[in-house]
Amino acid sequence: QHSDMPEEMRVETMELCVTACEKHATNNESAAKMIKETMDKKFGSSWHVVIGEGFGFEITHEVKNLLYMFFGGSLAVCVWKCS
């Protein structure tokens, strides 16, 4: 949907989101925790993750550290860094 991340980081983050959503298909909170913890380790803290259907948001994020994507049709995943 939207991202301002560098290509390599975007691809890695999208793969992580897909893996987390597949692994925790019935628990968005666990999927979000897996994504956040992995992003914190790999790219430094403080990452934030929201996963769900039918939500709006307005956030402040660090430049080149935002990914907003859909998984499996209607499940949205928003990942951003804001220290």
| CA atoms 23, 29, 35, 41: torsion sign | negative
Domains of the chain: total: 1
Split at pLDDT 50, 70, 90, the class of 13 is very high
Which residues constitute the domain of residue 16? 7-82
pLDDT, average across residues 7-35: 93
> Do residues 41 and 61 lie in contact, with contact meaning Cβ atoms separated by under 8 Å?
no
* Residue 77: predicted pLDDT: 94
* Residue 55: predicted pLDDT: 87
Asked if the structure places residue 2 within a domain, the reply is: no
Asked if the structure places residue 58 within a domain, the reply is: yes
Asked if the structure places residue 45 within a domain, the reply is: yes
Strands (E), 1-83: 2-3, 47-52, 66-71, 75-81
Asked if the structure places residue 67 within a domain, the reply is: yes
CATH at residue 71: 3.30.740.10
* Residue 63: predicted pLDDT: 86
Per residue in 29-73, pLDDT tens?
Answer: 999 999 999 999 999 989 999 999 988 888 888 888 999 999 888
Asked if the structure places residue 1 within a domain, the reply is: no
